[in-house]
Chains A and B, each alone.
Chain A
Amino acid sequence: MKRPKKKVSIMRKLQRRDRLKIYGDLLFILNSESKKEKVVLTHVQLKINVPFDRLKTYIDELRELGLILENPSLKLTEKGKLYLREYEMVLDFVKRMGLTY
């Protein structure tokens, strides 16, 4: 009886990420992974912690937004790099202001 209760409490401690945060995290990971020879999606999935099918959806969406491109491996476009820089600034601002989003 105790075990399910513990699971629930752990799940409550985990914060929900909205789509914006997932996009930001994904861009950050892709940016660091693209420095390697080839971006392996399984490694990206392990780092970002989302199901593989959803990861592919997010990648398609980012590609449609012009933030990433596949040439031949996945990497950030200039627009994607700019967005990532601004997103990091926003995160830093939110942290400094004591907001707990």
Chain B
Amino acid sequence: MDNTPLIVVEVVSAIVCFVLVWFMVKPYRTTGESRYLGLPLGFAFLGVSYVLMGAAYFESFHFVQETKWLQLFTQTYAFTFLAATYFFSKKPTKHSRLWLDLTYAALILLAIVSYLAVVEPLIFGLPSYKRANEYLLLFNIICLAYISIHTLRSHASKPDPKTIWTPLSYILLSFGQYSLFIWSVDSSFAAYVGAQFLRLSGLLILLFVTYQAFHAPHETPQKEGIHNEKASA
């Protein structure tokens, strides 16, 4: 079967992810706060995972199995980074910031160890790819479901037409992972195509949301913050 359409989808997804990273790193550049690093790091990992998947589709590529393993880990780290970012955004205290930094450090360390496991499979003894893929897909679905619920609750607490798109995009991404899980279980090609479609839709919605935040003219969102919150710093 010709893999060109699949490679194109992976390349387009990777490009969208890297454009998202370019936009999302702006809050960190403006404020220098490490809490704004989670989203760009997560989408950078996600973009790299799509590049790896695209490379694995090339028939002339020699390290297909290793690349697929790397893609599997990278994608899981991406969703874990995103889930950790949303989890620690709930209560911004001194301790939560410390825990967030520790979580990021632990995840990067874990990523290095898992990449070493792929390079040296004999030392680390990896399980079957199919089984690992299914477990990690389930883990990704849990992470994305958590993010979807978090963003939906955030929208419900202060309903605004601008904030509904983000939960929708994460829901589409989680359904994309679910479709990949179905494909892994029963090899349904429709589920695979559906997964690519859902993923691209989710990423494009996120791109739209981010573009709107940084380039569309908007009213000041600060006014409400000043009157509702008290300083205790």
Contacts and interface: CB of A to CB of B under 8 A. Distances in A.
Contacts of A28: 220, 222-223, 226
Nearest to B213: A93
A47 B229 contact: no
A54 B165 CA distance: 39
B209 interface: yes
A88 B220 contact: yes
User: Majority SS of interface residues in chain B?
Assistant: helix
B212 interface: yes
Contacts of B93: 16
B30 A92 contact: no
Interface string B190-233: 00000000000000000001101110001011110111011111
B91 to A, nearest CB: 9
Interface centre among B150, B167, B218 (most CB of A within 10 A): B218
Contacts of B225: 21, 25, 91
A98 B160 CA distance: 11
B151 interface: yes
Interface string A77-101: 0000001001111111111111111
A18 B34 CA distance: 13
A9 to B, nearest CB: 14
Query: For the side of the interface on A, what is the size category?
Result: 35 or more
Interface stretch (B50-58, B65-73, B82-90): B82-90
Contacts of B36: 90
Interface residues of B, number: 44
Contacts of A91: 221-222, 225
Contact of B226 (A48, A90, A93, A101): A48
A54 B233 CA distance: 10
B119 to A, nearest CB: 35
A97 B39 contact: yes
Contacts of B167: 98
Contact of B165 (A50, A88, A90, A96): A96
Given A22-B233, A89-B213, A100 B222 contact: no
B27 interface: yes
Interface in B133-160: 150-152, 154-155, 160
A95 B163 contact: yes
A14 interface: yes
Nearest to A90: B27
A49 B231 contact: yes
Given A83-B30, A100-B89, 9 more contacts: A15-B229, A18-B92, A28-B220, A47-B226, A90-B27, A93-B24, A98-B86, A98-B155, A99-B85
Interface of B: 24, 26-27, 30-31, 33, 35-36, 39, 85-86, 89-90, 92-93, 150-152, 154-155, 160, 162-163, 165-167, 209-210, 212-214, 218, 220-223, 225-227, 229-233
Interface of A: 14-22, 24-25, 28-29, 47-50, 54, 83, 86-101
